[in-house]
Chain A
Amino acid sequence: MSLVVFMIALATAVNGLLAGLNTDTALVKLPARRRIGAVAYATFARGNDLGNGLVVYPLLGIGAALLTVLATAVAYIERSPMEVLLPLSIASLLSILHSFATTRAAPVMLSIKDAPDDEALLTAKLDRFARWHAIRATFQVLTFFVLMWALVVV
């Protein structure tokens, strides 16, 4: 297995796991706030996103983006054909966009930590977080799919 194939496979694995995490949050976790209310959901988020999430998200988020950019750099250095460089470049761009969306979503979630248990206030914060999270989840799933495209054509 060449270095570029190994790097793309590794990036695909980590990005796949992050895509699963993001999708689960967008489709299963966040909609639960409409059933149990914003205050109860914020209590859960303080133990989840602001619990182990403070370690898991940065580790996987930064790791996935770094591996994607690194795989792209290796492909450029090894002068891989354009059909490989194209999906890798797109994946790197999507990773950067995911990171940007995270810089908007994360502060909203962090602000929930010390926010008072006010239903209206927490509803507004969680709705804002859900919007940015939906955007970053979309970028993340696309990154994963584009990396698989690179893996098929490499």
Chain B
Amino acid sequence: MIDTIVLLVVAETALNGIAAGASLDQSIKQLPARHRIGVVAYSAYSQASDMGNGIFWYAGVGVSAVLLSLATVVVAFVQRVSPVHAVPIAIVAGLFLLHMLITLTRAAPILLSQRRAQEAAKLSIIFDRFERWQTIRVLVDVLIFGVTLWALVSYIG
């Protein structure tokens, strides 16, 4: 019989892996494409994807991941799990706070501001600024996935 906390960590690992992969794609493939195709063409794509299905998909995955992380912390606290398991679970929750802060106050508003920009020069500044915050975000995303995997491995044996 699998414990509730293990189930929660498995679900977290699944969701955080998918989120980290999507974030990595944004950083190492999508954003660099603007240098090849031009920033105006890239903005047209970005508005159709990031602000199309992306709004529902990223928000859905993001909110679910944060809720799962909170639920895992609560269950870990109630079950009084040992520090071997509690440390990675707590680190993931802390990293999510940092991720939310960056996304809600920096990355998302910068990306959304492209709607008001028309000229290439303005769009270049917007995407350069977004790229800087996205670089920090992807590092946090991959770190979250890695630490979640560490939490899962801590239950082996």
Contact = CB atoms under 8 A, between A and B. Distances in A.
B49 A151 contact: no
A49 B153 CA distance: 34
Nearest to A54: B29
Nearest to B155: A152
B21 A145 contact: no
A41 interface: yes
Given A9-B153, A12-B149, A19 B21 contact: yes
Please tell me the size bucket of the interface on B. 35 or more
Interface stretch (B11-19, B68-76, B84-92, B110-118): B11-19
B29 A16 contact: no
Nearest to A53: B29
Contacts of A32: 45, 48-49, 52-53
B29 A46 contact: no
B18 A23 contact: yes
A13 interface: yes
Contacts of B49: 28-29, 31-32
A86 B145 CA distance: 25
Contacts of B10: 148, 152
Please tell me the size bucket of the interface on A. 35 or more
Nearest to A57: B29
A140 to B, nearest CB: 9
B22 interface: yes
Contacts of B50: 28
A80 interface: no
A52 B48 contact: no
Contacts of A15: 17
Contacts of B41: 40, 43-44
Contacts of B13: 12, 16, 148
Nearest to A52: B29
A28 B54 contact: yes
Contact of B145 (A13, A27, A152): A13
A5 B146 contact: no
A74 interface: no
Contact of A25 (B18, B25, B156): B25
B33 A151 contact: no
B5 interface: no
Interface string A1-38: 10001000100110111111111110111011001100
7 contacts: A16-B17, A24-B26, A27-B53, A31-B52, A31-B53, A46-B37, A56-B28
